[in-house]
Amino acid sequence: MSTSKNSVSKENKINYILYLADTTLILSHRNSEWCGHAPIIEQDIALTNIALDLLGQARNFYQYAAELIGNNATEDSLAYLRIENEYKNLLLTELPNDDWGNTVLRQFYFSVYQFYLYQQLQKSDDEQLVAIANKAIKEVSYHVRWSGEWVVRLGDGTKESHQRMLNAIENLKNYLGEMFIAADYETAMNIDLNTIQKQWDEKVTSVFAEATLPLPKNIFNHIGGKTGVHTEYLGYILTEMQYLQRTYPNAVW
């Protein structure tokens, strides 16, 4: 990244930070739906830990965005009081969890993307983004490791687990391209998505080879999440997530 502070408009920067915040928040929420339902308590804790890591990252991004927006915006107003078409999260993150295989494969796809993305943010000339990326990348490294091991375990496991991973690959395949197709505000931020895609391809290919899984084929790329055009699922997520704040405005802990 060769961004200089003056070359990025404030609006683009805010949109980009909201994209990072919304994406981590929505995936955190999806993962949190497993709390109390995972196949075994140890994995319940593991996935809930990941949900909490993502929530922590989302908070950091929202706080920074709120600071830039001003106007009494807070992390809570950004998370709880915006509607679907203001949300900029990747479509991938709002898809239903489906089974465990689908959940860990989605986490793996996303964590690998996030890892290489944060590597670029670490070199950003925005000190705040550098600080967030530095803190978060250690968490993300572990998410890549944890989810990658599950992909191998299930892909190269039993006949049943292999079939479920094939189903998951099919389920998710049309929602991967969006990660690498830049929205205008990303282009403005000079994020090098081509490099990220190359690194992502390499990592996914090597883990899939170990997992004896085929790479996704016949892909059609659904896009829109980054600019607020979402699947039907996001509305339901926000309804549940924002219920309390909308029913009891300004409620605090």
Partner 1 sequence: MNNLIKKFFYGDYGEIEEGASTSQDDQWPLWEIFIRSKQGLDHKHVGSLHAADAKMAIENARDVYTRRQEGISIWVVESKNITASNPDEAGELFEPAQDKIYRHPTFYHLPEKVNHM
Q: Which span (21-29, 35-43, 88-96, 199-207) binds partner 1, by CB under 8 A? A: 35-43
Q: Does residue 153 bind partner 1 (CB under 8 A)?
A: yes
Residue 53 CB contacts under 8 Å (≥ 6 apart), including other chains = 136, 139, 140, 143
> What is the DSSP annotation of 176-196?
SGGGGS--HHHHHTT--HHHH
Q: Which span (17-25, 27-35, 36-44, 55-63) binds partner 1, by CB under 8 A? A: 36-44
Query: Smaller CB distance to partner 1: residue 153 or 222?
Result: 153
> What is the DSSP annotation of 98-126?
-SHHHHHHHHHHHHHHHHHHHHHHTT-S-
Q: Give the count of alpha carbons within 13 A of 116, CB side only.
A: 21
Q: Does residue 46 bind partner 1 (CB under 8 A)?
A: yes
Number of shown-chain residues binding partner 1 (CB under 8 A): 11
Q: Does residue 43 bind partner 1 (CB under 8 A)?
A: yes
Minimum gap (Å) between residue 164 Cβ and partner 1? 16
Q: What mask, x for binding partner 1 by CB under 8 A, covers residues 112 to 151? A: ---------------------------------xx--x--
- Do 191 and 20 meet the contact criterion of CB atoms below 8 Å apart? no
Query: Smaller CB distance to partner 1: residue 80 or 142?
Result: 142
48-67 residues in contact with partner 1 (CB under 8 A) are: 49
Q: Does residue 251 bind partner 1 (CB under 8 A)?
A: no
Minimum gap (Å) between residue 50 Cβ and partner 1? 9
Query: Smaller CB distance to partner 1: residue 145 or 198?
Result: 145
Amino acid identity for residue 85 in this structure: N
Largest pairwise CA distance in the chain: 56
164: tokens are 């479920």
Which helix (H) or strand (E) segment is 218 a member of?
A: none
Q: How far apart (Å, rounded) are the C-alpha atoms in residues 128 and 181? A: 25
Q: How far apart (Å, rounded) are the C-alpha atoms in residues 157 and 190? A: 41
Query: Smaller CB distance to partner 1: residue 37 or 145?
Result: 145
Query: Smaller CB distance to partner 1: residue 161 or 199?
Result: 161
55: tokens are 């929530």
- Which positions touch partner 1 (CB under 8 A)? 40-43, 45-46, 49, 145-146, 149, 153
